[in-house]
Structures are given as C-alpha cells and as structure tokens.
Amino acid sequence: MSEIFLDKDIDLKIIQQKKISIIGYGNQGRAQALNLRDSGINIRIGLRINSNSIPAVKKDNLKYLEIQESVIWADIICLLVPDKKIPEVFKEYIKENLNSNKTILFSHGFNIHYKQIEVSNENDVIMVAPSAGGKIVRSEYKKGYGVPSLIAVHNDASGSAFELAKAYAKAIGSGRVCIFKSTFKEETETDIFGEQAILTGGLPFLINQSFNTLVEKGYSPIVAWFVCYYEIKTIVDLFHDIGFEEFYDKISDTARIGGILSGSKLIDDSFVEKLKSLLEDIESGSFYKRLSEEQDKKIPNSFKKIDEQTKFFFKIIRKLRN
C-alpha cells in the first residue's frame, strides 16, 4: 500500500527557505504559482521575452523573469510547460544554468520516464503531480481544501529531496486531502492508461457511440443526448463519493439490474484483453514512439452530432438565465 501524508506530517520550513521558479503560466502553472504564493513561498514566473502570458502574470500581481534569469535566480525550477515542449525548454534555458544546489520539479513523469531529458545526478529531481487540472487545483485551495497529489523522487542528491517534494505538495494544498508516494514510472504509465482507457478514450467514445446508436435507430437526438451525455455528471457525482456498491443500492431496480447485466456483456473477456493491450503498449514504449507520428491527430468527425446537441442545449440555458 502506498504511503500517505497529510499536512500534519509535513514541515513547510524546508520550502519556505527556497526560491521557486515556475516555468510556464498555463492552467497548471498559474494554479500552482498562486497557491504557492498564498502559502508564503517566494516565487517568480519564468517566461519567454515576448510571452503572451505576461499580461495574465501582471494581472495576478506576480513577479516574472525571463526563463534563463529565473533559472539562475531559483533554488527549485518547476517545469510546467506542456510535455512536448519540456525537452526544448530544458536544453535552451536550463541545462547550462544548473548547479548542484538546484532542484528540478515536474508535475508529470513523462519526460524523465521516457528519457527525453537527462538531469545530472548532482541535482535533485522530484515530481509533484496534482490529480486535477489547474482550475480545480486553484479553486479547491481557495475553498480551504485541495486535490490529492502523487509525489516521487528520481534523483536525491541532497538527501532531502523527498521532504522537499512533500513540502511543495503541502504548499499547493494537497496535504489538506492526501499526498501519495509514487514513482515517475508508476505515475506516467498509470496516468496515460487512465486517459486512454477511461478519461479521454473509453468514456467519450462510449458516450458518443451510444448516442449515435440511438439516433441511427430514429430516436430524438436531444433525448439521446440527455440519456447518454447529460446524465453522466449526475451518475459520476453519485458514485464518486460513495463507491459502486452503495451506488447500486441507491438507484432503481431497473437501472441496477440492467446495468449489471449489460455491463458484464459489454466489458467481456475480449474487452479486458484490449485493456491489457493498451497497457502493454504504454509499458513497452510503443505508444510513446507513436506520439511524434500522431501529433496532428484530429478529433473524429463522429463527435459532430453530439457536440451540436451540447451547444444547442446550453445555448438555450444561457438565454433562459439571461
């Protein structure tokens, strides 16, 4: 079982004595930067000279430096630009400006696990990976809560890298919920698998195909949209906090019996083998090798009809609310 840490287990002093540079000001970079600032941490945002993010940084009353300057200034360099841009940023701005006292922090293990960049063994390399997008990381912090984070250490040159990762996770609010000890390998492979099997692969495609099946058989598109798309959130909200067993106890007999019978029919042995195949592609590196070839992969046209219903419904709702 993974080790779990809470605020009470973590001393924030180790990070309060550090200067932190956040490279990138997208959703995750902004959220973590603001949470760190509100936790009393000394931060700067590292940006390119003509970055489009400069107005947003100024609006948030944060200080910024050109990337290279921020790397020289900082004790901890947080690489929060998109995964595919990290090798370029590291090579151009960071690699030559590292000394043995600096720590590199990631929020996803991808580039270290797949050896896209290599950091000297003289530097601490750590990961703090919040389990939500930046908008939620920030909103939960402001409510006095937080989102769970996975933390890991790749290099421990200082002997205190793990304590530093815990303190950073606490500073962005994760210690209010839970912080899990993991590894770069585990975080990377499970994150990609979860996306492909459920979050961005399995679920959207299942919803869309179910919608199309009803429409092709002559059912009203808006009714098909309601039962296949709109109701997803209410169902997920229900089982999210109570688990599947209690969830099935709370729904109607028709929904419970139909769900169990059809679920085992849909998720059969052949489906399980497909899941295993997805995981094998991730573990072997086959998926990673295909990434560069598929960067321009477009959203399937098959989503067009269901997206039209989504826009139609929420356009009506906005009009009614105004």
Residues assigned a catalytic role: 108
Phi-psi region of 218 (alpha: psi -120 to 50; beta: other; left: phi over 0): left
Q: How far apart are the first and last CA of the chain?
A: 51
Q: For 241, how many CA atoms within 13 A lie in the half-sphere containing its CB? A: 5
The C-alpha atoms of residue 309 and residue 214 are separated, in whole angstroms, by 14
Residue 50: exposure state from Cβ atoms within 10 A (0-12, 13-18, ≥19): exposed
C-alpha closest to that of 100 among 150, 151, 45, 161: 161
E strands, 64-222, where? 64-66, 76-79, 103-106, 124-130, 149-155, 179-181
Q: Check if the beta carbon of residue 21 is closer than 8 Å to that of residue 43.
A: yes
C-alpha closest to that of 130 among 162, 86, 174, 165: 174
The single-letter code of the amino acid at 294 is E
